[in-house]
């Protein structure tokens, strides 16, 4: 039915808010005046999956943790469920991936941004009552890497922000988003979606690989000045991309590429895509990957 993605700093009160949301939704679902379908409210979190705080120590151990969260989330999503994903969800690309997964299942979505200042979360980390604090260094690191949700991008909206001073959550807004919000355009099932060409997967891999190489070459040539550049790819494909004014590392680019490929691979194999975007030509893939890089590579 719906996916509620929580996002926020470590120790910002996400779990506390998740339980407030769950309780508020259950109250409404049990109210005699509620005439909608029977729904259950489920929370998936690091704690429910037994993922230790140590997993966030470095990106190598974080990856499988994020994978486990994504798998659990996909398993728990459904038409009879309001799913709350209580985790930091601090990577834009990851939120995008969850959004795509929710859309495939035709769920309503909303993002709840739990806000507290960095000073407060450091304080609360020390005084946590569940005995599961983050190591100071990990906490600092996460605060630095955090990619704030934005109401301007479709995968974070509607965005509901809950500041630390608020005693309660804006239950009406959340209820509205999960029961009345737009279900994004229908996909397979109700509409005949043309299957992507069988070589779309190959084009996806080859084009993104070529772009990673072209960006690395461009950076080596310019010394990482950034700004808009035109990349020449095989088969006379050209695409422009705005690069940040710093050297992007190869591993950073490859990570971004893998995220992009994973998301789109799914779309290709399921035959579901963004509205109107059924074009898996090299040029179109290059354009999409360029946009994805601009949105997901830190400035
Ligand atoms: P998270 O899930 O983001 O790690 P928790 O909900 O587990 O955060 O809260 C972490 C700690 O911070 C808890 O000990 C909690 O009591 C405290 N805390 C959370 N939100 C607030 C708040 N708004 N005001 C005061 N203390 C808070
Ligand atoms: Mg928590």
Distance separating alpha carbons of residues 4 and 85, to the nearest angstrom: 6
Record the tokens describing residue 121, joined without a space. 């979360």
19 CB within 6 A, ligand 1: no
Ligand 1 atom with minimal separation from the 8 CA: 3
- Alpha helix (H) residue ranges in the chain: 14-30, 59-76, 92-104, 118-127, 136-145, 171-179, 200-222, 250-270, 282-296
The Å distance, Cα 155 to ligand 2 centre, comes to 22
Distance separating alpha carbons of residues 248 and 211, to the nearest angstrom: 13
Judging by beta carbons within 10 Å of its beta carbon (0-12, 13-18, 19+), is residue 249 exposed, middle or buried?
Answer: exposed
Distance separating alpha carbons of residues 44 and 261, to the nearest angstrom: 25
Distance separating alpha carbons of residues 81 and 40, to the nearest angstrom: 5
Cis peptide leading into residue 158 (ω within 30°): yes
Distance separating alpha carbons of residues 265 and 137, to the nearest angstrom: 36
Distance separating alpha carbons of residues 4 and 21, to the nearest angstrom: 10
Q: Which ligand is nearest to the CA of 47?
A: 2
Task: Could you please state the CATH topology (level 3) that the domain comprising 2-180 is classified under.
Answer: Rossmann fold (3.40.50)
13 CB within 6 A, ligand 1: yes
Instruction: Provide the pLDDT for residue 231.
Output: 93
Nearest CA to ligand 1 atom 9: 13
128 CB within 6 A, ligand 1: yes
The Å distance, Cα 18 to ligand 2 centre, comes to 9
Nearest CA to ligand 1 atom 22: 164
Residues of the chain within CATH 3.40.50.300 domain(s) are: 2-180
Written in H, E and C, the secondary structure of 79-113 is CCEEEEEECCCCCHHHHHHHHHHHHHCCCEEEEEE
Q: Which ligand is nearest to the CA of 48?
A: 2
Record the tokens describing residue 77, joined without a space. 């999503």
Nearest CA to ligand 1 atom 26: 124
Nearest CA to ligand 1 atom 1: 11
Distance separating alpha carbons of residues 160 and 150, to the nearest angstrom: 10
Q: In the chain, which stretches have pLDDT less than 50?
A: 186-195, 273-277
pTM (2 decimals)? 0.67
Q: Which ligand is nearest to the CA of 128?
A: 1
124 CB within 6 A, ligand 1: yes
Instruction: Provide the pLDDT for residue 277.
Output: 47
Each residue of 234-256: pLDDT tens digit?
A: 888 889 999 998 889 999 999 99
Q: What residues does 230 pair with on adjacent strands?
A: 240
Distance separating alpha carbons of residues 41 and 236, to the nearest angstrom: 51
122 CB within 6 A, ligand 1: no
Q: What residues does 251 pair with on adjacent strands?
A: none
Could you tell me if 178 and 260 are in contact, meaning their C-beta atoms sit under 8 angstroms apart? no
90 CB within 6 A, ligand 1: no
Residues 6+ apart with CB under 8 A from 250: 212, 216
The Å distance, Cα 267 to ligand 1 centre, comes to 37
The Å distance, Cα 43 to ligand 1 centre, comes to 17
How many of the other CB atoms lie within 10 Å of CB of 142?
A: 20
Distance separating alpha carbons of residues 187 and 233, to the nearest angstrom: 31
């Amino acid at each position: 039915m719906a996916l509620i993605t929580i996002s926020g700093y470590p120790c910002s009160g996400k779990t506390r808010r998740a339980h407030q949301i769950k309780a508020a939704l259950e109250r409404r679902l049990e109210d005699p005046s509620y005439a909608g379908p029977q729904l259950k409210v489920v929370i998936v979190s690091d704690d429910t999956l037994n993922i230790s705080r140590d997993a966030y120590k470095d990106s190598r151990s974080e990856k499988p943790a994020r994978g486990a969260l994504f798998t659990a989330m996909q398993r728990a999503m459904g038409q009879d469920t309001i799913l709350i994903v209580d985790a930091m969800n601090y990577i834009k690309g990851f939120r995008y991936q969850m959004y795509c997964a929710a859309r495939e299942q035709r769920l309503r979505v909303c993002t709840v941004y739990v806000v507290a200042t960095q000073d407060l979360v450091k304080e609360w980390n020390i005084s946590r009552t569940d005995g599961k604090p983050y190591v100071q260094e990990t906490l600092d690191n996460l605060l630095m890497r955090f990619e704030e949700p934005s109401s301007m991008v479709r995968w974070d909206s509607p965005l509901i922000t809950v500041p630390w001073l608020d005693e309660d959550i804006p239950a009406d807004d959340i209820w509205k988003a999960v029961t009345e919000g737009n279900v994004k355009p229908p996909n397979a099932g109700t509409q005949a979606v043309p299957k992507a060409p069988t070589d779309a997967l190959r084009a996806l891999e080859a084009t993104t690989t070529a772009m990673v190489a072209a960006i690395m070459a461009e950076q080596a040539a310019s010394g990482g000045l950034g700004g808009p550049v035109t990349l020449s790819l095989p088969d006379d494909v050209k695409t422009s991309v705005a690069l940040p004014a710093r050297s992007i590392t190869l591993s950073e680019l490859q990570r971004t590429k893998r995220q992009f490929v994973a998301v789109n691979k799914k779309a290709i194999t399921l035959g579901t895509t963004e509205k109107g975007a059924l074009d898996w030509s090299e040029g179109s893939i290059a354009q999409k990957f360029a946009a994805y890089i601009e949105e997901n590579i830190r400035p």
